[in-house]
Amino acid sequence: MVALDALEVVAARRGLPESAPNGIYAFLKADGRGLEGHPGLVDSLKRIASLQPLPSGLLADLQDEIRKKQAEFSLIGVRSFDLLARNAPYLSAHDQAAVEAAVSSMIEEHQGTDELASALGYLGCAGLARQQAMSYLGPRLEEAQVVRPNRRKVPGLAIQADDFAEGIALARIAQTGNPDDPLLKRIRRFAANRLGVIDPAPIARALAVRGSNRRTSDQIIQDIGRNLAASRTSIRRQQVDIAFGAETLLLLPADERGGAAEAVRSAWLAEHEPDLKLNWASLFLELRKRSTTFDRRPCL
């Protein structure tokens, strides 16, 4: 797993040679289970696909998989579709159109799977099939107040339904384009009411991306202060607002980020309410921690 993590770091910083994703995919194919085997390798290939162009031969194989009739209950087709969707920003217009053309059949055959939700989120973020993606994902986002993963240990196969994958996919779509305010409000509610979301980064980015573009750093700091004051009765909402605030400030132009961090530090020093002072301190530490590793790429 350490070696796989290292591959992803290299992919994010300067790109991997084609032999790396080709080698992972060849190993999976040789195993006989393909994309249904070795979850760690599959996840690593997914992350690489979102960071750099995939080799042409691998792309051709994935396209063959989404076109062919798969065995009942097989996930190979939809996982191939997810890999292509993650790689969408790097695809040619012809290949993008081919992936877009497969959306309807994928929705028909793989409704309710996390892989389908993930793929639609990445496609929508890349500006492809946005309306189809939102029409599928939107109604699946529950309005329940608080949802947490089911951690009960039960014998045999356990099937669990939740909307975590759909919420993250919608957040990914909201990172680009011009999502309407009701969608952003739903994503914010989702973030506050879902406990144990495995990958919260896309949610924070969706909530932050328009805010950093539309307001000055002073206005952003003021809004963060209002949010922290309004959420002091809910620890979960405080965590969301701190993550949202850090993401918004880190998206500012480089020449503004230092001043924004100093403004957060000043707000912390000036605050007298113990709980708010702690929140400002948490935000300042979050900024310091993430400033050197912040990932600015779209479709996070």
Query: CA-based angle 260:179:251, to the nearest 5?
Result: 20
Residue found under tokens 């691998």: 58
What type of residue is 66? Answer: I
Question: Is 233 within 8 Å of 274 (Cβ atoms)?
Answer: no
pLDDT at 189: 82
Judge residue 201's burial from the number of C-beta atoms within 10 Å of its C-beta, 0-12 exposed, 13-18 middle, 19 or more buried: middle
pLDDT at 214: 62
In our burial notation (b when 16+ CB lie closer than 10 A, e otherwise), range 156-165 reads eeeeeebbbb
pLDDT at 100: 97
d(CA 239, CA 192): 8
pLDDT at 154: 45
Q: What is the CA radius of gyration of the chain?
A: 21
C-alpha distances out from residue 297 to 111, 126, 175, 288, 293, Å: 29, 12, 11, 19, 12
pLDDT at 159: 45
pLDDT at 268: 95
pLDDT at 211: 59
- Secondary structure class of 189 (helix, strand, coil): helix
Tokens read off for 63: 């396209």
How many C-alpha atoms does 138 have within 13 Å on its Cβ side?
Answer: 15
Q: What is the pLDDT along the chain (300 residues), one digit of tens a residue?
A: 546 666 666 666 667 899 999 999 999 999 899 999 999 999 999 999 999 999 999 999 999 999 998 888 899 999 999 999 999 999 999 999 999 999 999 999 999 999 999 999 999 999 999 999 999 999 988 765 555 554 444 444 444 467 889 999 999 998 887 767 788 888 888 877 776 665 677 888 888 876 556 678 888 899 899 989 988 888 878 888 888 888 889 888 888 888 999 999 999 999 999 999 999 999 999 998 888 777 777 787
